[in-house]
Chain A
Amino acid sequence: MTATAERPSKADTRPKSVVRLGDRVFSTATVLSGSLILVVLVAVALFLIVQSIPALTAKPGEIPQGAKSFWDYVGPLVFGTIWAALLALIIATPLALGIALFISHYAPRRISQLLGYIIDLLAAVPSVVFGLWGVLVLAPFIQPFYSTLVDKLGWIPLFAGPVSGTGKTILTASIVLAVMILPIMTAVMREIFLQAPRLHEEAALALGATRFEMIQMAVLPFARSGMVSAIMLGLGRALGETLAIAIVLSPAAVVNLHLLTSQNPNTIAANIALQFNEAQGVGLNTLIASGLILFVITLLVNMAARFVVNRRKDFSGAN
């Protein structure tokens, strides 16, 4: 805003800015690392595309598991990937919102700090540990509930039987996924909530709002774009999660919305992890091609997130 006040004619008389060696080195280094990202991305995309071609052009019979074409093979996997991530988001979003609000606006400072640390610690647990916990502890523990659900509410398509005897269902996998994406979502939301303008909050309270009303009026509208980006970050992680799903889920090549049966749609990443070891020939190309599809899906999700965040940014004030 001050720039417009300056006269162009005066620019010539200003002292020339000094450029030292450190500036040169530093700016070159940043440019290099910035372009390296693009190079890596292009290299990965190229590798995926080149290796995918044999699978995309394969004749029926060459694709594993008796699929008629590559799209026939990858269809259930795409569905499973999105379905599992969606379920995880449905579980994790309200939880993350609640935890973040509790930490930022309800808890006494000491407890909120401690809780913050614990949530961050959760993010440091490797996914294989979550996977083992899911399959050894959660699945056997939760299986009796599944049995009851199917017995009592089996007429709802989501809870249709026959119930899985091991509890290794897509719902269990999604619960594990939800626990895994909770830390990142909570951390982002907490930061946004803490940034809500103090003046707005106090104004709301001064007008006689209760604390809940204050959060409704002053915090949530301000944080909307941040919440969207938190959800998208969680979704991104859920889409790509591999090992935990590979260990927990009992997969089959199916498309269904049943949460509690043994025949669950698998995710792309978990399928690659499971089949890669023994894959050969076109089977290997098929797996890489399914990786390309996952690449495209995550790219689209991230672009959608960007779009939403940018659109909201102008009138939310969160920038």
Chain B
Amino acid sequence: MNIKRVGSIAAIAIVGAIALSSCASNEGGAGTGSSAGSSDLSGTINGIGSSAQQAAETAWASAFQQANADANVNYDPQGSGAGRTSFISGAADFAGSDAALSDEELKSTFAGCAADSKAIDLPVYISPIAIAYNVDGLTDLTLDADTIAGIFKGTITKWNDAAITKLNPDAKLPSAAITVVHRSDDSGTTFNFSQYLASQAKSVWTEEASQTFPYSVGDAAKGGSGVADAAKNSKNSITYLDDSAVGDLSVAKLMVGGTATELSADGAAAVVSKSPLVEGRADNDLAINIDRTLTDKGDWPLVLVSYIIACDTYKDSAKGNLVKAYATYAASADGQKAAAEQAKSAELTSDLASKVATAAATIK
């Protein structure tokens, strides 16, 4: 009786262990064994970082593993801050981060990198941030930076406020209170959203860009899907979120340099591509200083760029080769297309993609 019971527990444990360990490499099911093996890359690299990148990283990792049967890529979406910290301490081989390394972080010693070699930022993931709303009967809405700042700061509280009606003379705006929904957790989306407003609506948005939503206004919800649900489940609501999480909500047009602009992946990618690099960095460090003032036709300056952060030279050259190949694939046309399908991100422009490829090629 006792032996039987112990035996059955052991059996469950063994079956569980087998089932779990077989999930460790997340290759897709289709013919991995036969088609693969064309490369001599082997080993495992572990990435930790941004949850915004998760869907894209999963797509890249599975395609990369199909092409290289002996290679293994794991990505743990613990968050950008955790990713950078783990990368610096050597716990992760690369980091996914919604912010490039800061100057202070660049000064630290990177445990996984070769002595006196530094880390580099490679932009691989672009996500347009949408202003989404849920108002009965309203499907066409245009807002400018000052109005958005007013709404999210709490100075504009009604949908039929003069500032909104002025921008939307033809829309039927209800005289209802605006339910503002923002993130309750710290996030790169909030950082880019507030950075845009801090630069484009200076007179209204007086706080600096920050990962934490700065004002005590409206309801807060956890994660992109959380704010989307909260906005969908309440009336007359408005929120900001990654375009991929919008779902059934309507997306507002943004006044960019006097023209009402629709959100487009191309417009977001164009803004990133035209923005200057952060100054004073190594040649192969592509940290981008997003130019929020661009006003060309179609430009969508409300955009988030996420990076793969890797060593310039790895202590372990086998790891270096793997990361190099992986980052190169992520920035390639195939990789960007896979990410766009999986994560609804904006594909890098070919101009920026080739820069990233050149920089990735220097990883050793």
A residues in contact (CB < 8 Å) with B: 64-65, 135-136, 139-140, 143, 162, 164-168, 246-247, 249-254, 262-263, 274-280
Residues of A close to B118: CB separation below 8 A: none
8 further A-B pairs in the complex, CB-CB below 8 A; given A247-B222, A279-B82: A162-B177, A250-B230, A262-B217, A262-B218, A277-B51, A278-B79, A278-B81, A278-B82
Binds A, one of B33-41, B138-146, B184-192, B296-304: B184-192
Given A64-B212, A250-B184, A278–B80 Cβ distance below 8 Å? yes
Residues of A close to B150: CB separation below 8 A: none
18 of the cross-chain contacts (CB-CB < 8 Å) are A135-B221, A135-B226, A140-B233, A165-B177, A165-B236, A166-B179, A166-B233, A168-B219, A168-B220, A250-B184, A252-B216, A262-B219, A262-B220, A275-B186, A277-B185, A278-B79, A278-B188, A279-B81
B185 touches A168 (CB 8 A): no
| CB of B85 closer than 8 Å to a CB of A | yes
Separation of A72 and B184 alpha carbons in the complex (Å): 19
Separation of A139 and B234 alpha carbons in the complex (Å): 9
Separation of A276 and B179 alpha carbons in the complex (Å): 27
A275 touches B185 (CB 8 A): yes
A143 touches B177 (CB 8 A): no
Separation of A167 and B177 alpha carbons in the complex (Å): 15
Residues of A close to B78: CB separation below 8 A: 277
| CB of B344 closer than 8 Å to a CB of A | no
Residues of A close to B217: CB separation below 8 A: 262
B184 touches A254 (CB 8 A): no
Separation of A239 and B321 alpha carbons in the complex (Å): 49
1/0 contact trace for B234-251 toward A, CB 8 Å? Answer: 111100000000000000
A280 touches B84 (CB 8 A): yes
Separation of A251 and B185 alpha carbons in the complex (Å): 9
| CB of B161 closer than 8 Å to a CB of A | no
Separation of A136 and B51 alpha carbons in the complex (Å): 22
Nearest 6 pairs of A and B residues by beta carbon: A165-B179, A277-B79, A278-B186, A140-B233, A250-B219, A280-B81
- B105's closest neighbor in chain A, by CB? A280
A135 touches B186 (CB 8 A): no
Separation of A279 and B80 alpha carbons in the complex (Å): 9
Separation of A135 and B81 alpha carbons in the complex (Å): 27
A246 touches B186 (CB 8 A): no
Given A136-B229, A277-B78, A167–B220 Cβ distance below 8 Å? no
